[in-house]
Amino acid sequence: MIKIMVIFGTRPEAIKMAPVIEELKKNKNKFKAIVCVTAQHREMLDQVVDWFGIKVDYDLNLMTDNQFLSELTSKALVKIEHILEAEKPDIVLVQGDTTTAMISALASYYQKIPVGYVESGLRTWDKYNPFPEEINRVLLSHLADLHFAPTSVSRENLLKEGIKKENIFITGNTVIDALFKTVKKKNNNRIKDKKNKKEIDLNKKFILITTHRRENFGEPLKNICLAIKELVKEEDFEADFILPVHKNPNVEGVVFANLRNNPKIHLVEPLEYPDFANVMAKSYLILSDSGGVQEEAPSLGKPVLVLRKTTERPEAVKAGTVKLVGTDKNKIKKEVKKLLENKKEYQKIAKAKNPYGNGTASKKIVKVIWEKLKAKNK
């Protein structure tokens, strides 16, 4: 029996790890899966855990308001190390670019426990964009033992950094597995705007916006808001905006100061993952600085304008499923109007093939772990 500890702390990690955990549970004769959450994000994490029915064995509950990265890092390292000492797993599985993932890998290294890294190999080659995620990914790659790269581009990035080719496996991205399961079960034409106590009709043409990246705090986020504000003022502008407002005060303050009290701009509470997937599926266009959205939206045939200077997902840009627009107000307006007015340009992006797989990543990951560690089962 192979004992696997899966560690995550944020909503995106939970979404991408859920199908892996489900696949491990299907193979109970081979694996014992232990789930540890740091709750680096609390409320948003809990929503996903509940939706996917994940049984949590350890909850470190590390979230505090506006905590420094150094504070989270030090607390997580000590607490995770204690759990690893107690459980002694055969392998630890982490995902993505969070502080939780990086520290879990470091704590595992200190205990000489192998690490499997889901979504390994993403790079922007700019250590401050995104911050601190880029450096987290680099450190993780040199702490991990098995690398589950979503694409051949990610694999090449790892090879450039000296990672052995026999330890890299191209699997696709597990977020597609999670998305297909969720959209299949969730299909509503209205969502509740809890903040304003009303319902929003998803049959109307609307643009979905998500923004939460640290590098966009301050002036960049203000520019994004001004672009939206100016677009809806134009007489011939034919779409509404739906913006789930991230709980971080650096986001809330700027968004509400610039975009409240406009009937065409719906500022809503952060959506639970099933509702968010449903809103993505029914949107016309998405503006986002999220990494996950760049992977998910193309599977739904939705163009994404990326509100960032760089992306660690260049294969999406190359495939034509997303377009980098940054945070320049005028460029955002120009690209939004182009996709609203030019059907040919819209279809070109909407029909481009998603490079992140077809929903079988979790099966591939679990198969690799079994093949590499099955001697433990004897």
Catalytically active residues are 97, 119, 133, 212, 214, 246
Backbone angles phi, psi at 287, to 5 degrees: -110, 125
HEC profile of 113-165: CCEEEECCCCCCCCCCCCCCHHHHHHHHHHHCCEEEECCHHHHHHHHHCCCCH
- Strand ranges of the sheet holding 91-95, from the earlier edge strand across to the other edge: 58-59, 31-37, 2-8, 91-95, 115-118, 146-149, 168-170
The residue whose two tokens read 């009303």 is: 198
- Helix or strand or coil: residue 172? coil
24: number of Cβ within 10 Å: 25
Of 316, 308, 311, give the one whose Cα is nearest residue 289.
308
**Helix (DSSP H) and strand (DSSP E) numbers for the chain:** 15, 15
371: number of Cβ within 10 Å: 9
